[in-house]
Structure 1
Amino acid sequence: MLLRMGNREDLFDAAKRCLLEKGYDRSSVRDLASTAGVNMAAIGYHYGSREKLLNQALFALLDEWGDSMGRVLAPDAGFARMWESLIEQFAANPGLWLASVELFLQAQRRPELRGQLAEGTAEGRRGMAAILESVPEGEVPERSVRTIGTVQMALMSGVMIQCLSDPENAPTAEEVLEGLRALAALA
């Protein structure tokens, strides 16, 4: 027997699909409702607004990605393999990354969203530090979060933007590592 999801769950699933296919700004109320097979009014009823639905769906997609990458980025695979995996993910999932950039832009105009984004970013720094330090997330020293986690997230964001804007000339994992070594020598 196949169980059917309710309208709320159908909308959430539709929002994820629309974000990946159309992006944040181009996912209209009509797109969301028709993809979910529900009335447009269901968005307001279940989520309050299109933006609240899209925000929840995008944060869920990013959490799912973070969880999957946490499993893929095993510390014993090495830093080089981690960068190879990240760059592969940027190329394989451009819709997710474009939607996340759109989220950052939306957050500049919405203080409540900026708070959510700040929480998500803090979680990302902690997760990256945990992966790189080979410790459980709850045991990461705050200094590692503020240094290793922060710098890794900054590097990831920059490389992701380059992969989206100029994929032909975006750095490879080998180039990222070579650049880090050169920067370390300067420091």
Structure 2
Amino acid sequence: MGHREDLLDGAKRCLLEKGFARTTARDIVRESGANLASIGYHYGSKDALLAEAYVALVEEQAERFDWDAGAAGTPPGSHERLRATMRTLADSLKRPDSIWHLSIEIIAMGDRLPEIRRNLALAQRSGGRGLAALLLGIPEEKVDDDLTDTVGNFAMVLLTGLIAQNSLDPDGTPTGDQLADGLLRLVAGPAPEGGR
């Protein structure tokens, strides 16, 4: 492995241990075995390196989870698939290896990190494309810009809100079934008088 990869691996370990704001360039150097100047040479800045490390952690977590397992056998675009996908999202917050708490820290720091916001926005869009594929039961390469802009963006807004709520009130965070029920009720409109 070269210095670039060593730095990225060291930055990932630092993020998991200390978070974004408390990680210093010296922490990354100590963790990676690289030298201080190599951060600027390979990544431009400590913040850019940490942003790339965060995106890599999210991608690794997505690969570890079998996101489609809960939705397997459910018809594409069905209520059952929505429910299974919402369960997977909500359950992912409770896993001991979840890195979603880092998302809240990065969102809160976003205005102070204008040079890396664009890269994080691209990663967000890519995540939305993946979630749209999962919700609709289609290969990711079939998710066009329109589906990404609608279904994908909706799913990312929902996930971001779920992460925020879980950070503030883990016991009050809705389950996947509650999320699916809420969305389906919203789409169905109000129940007739006297009905549910």
Q: TM-score, normalised by structure 2?
A: 0.80
Shift of residue 47, structure 1, vs aligned partner? 2.5
Identity of aligned residues (%): 38
Q: Using the alignment, how far apart are the partners of 2:137 and 2:85 within structure 1?
A: 13
Q: Which residue of 2 aligns with 1:44?
A: 40
**Cα gap change, 1:33 to 1:46, in 2 (>3 Å):** same
Measure how far apart 1:16 and its partner are.
Answer: 0.5
Identify the residue that residue 147 of structure 1 maps to in structure 2: 150
Distance between the aligned counterparts of 1:32 and 1:45, measured in 2?
14
Equivalence map 1:12-23=2 (5 Å) = 12-23=8-19
Match of 1:185 in 2: 188
Query: Residue 68 of structure 2 corresponds to which residue in structure 1?
Result: 73
Task: Answer yes or no: is 1:157 the counterpart of 2:152.
Answer: no
Letter in 1 for 2:49: L
Of the three residues 67, 78, 101, the one matched with 1:98 is 101
The structure in which a higher percent of residues are helix is 1
Residue 176 of structure 1 aligns with an amino acid whose one-letter code is L
Aligned residues: 182
Aligned equivalent of 1:61: 57
Verify the 8 A CA contact 2:132 2:152 in the aligned structure 1: yes
Q: Counterpart of 2:39 in structure 1: which amino acid?
A: I
TM-score with structure 1 setting the length: 0.83
Aligned mates of 1:92, 1:150 — CA distance in 2:
24
Deviation of the 1:93 alpha carbon: 5.2
Q: Secondary structure at the match of 2:172?
A: coil
**Gapped regions of structure 1 (runs ≥ 5):** none
The aligned residue for residue 11 of structure 1 is 7
Structure 1's 147 and 45: CA in aligned 2 closer, same or farther, altered over 3 A?
Answer: closer
Letter in 1 for 2:90: I
Q: Give the residue type in structure 1 aligned to 2:142.
A: E
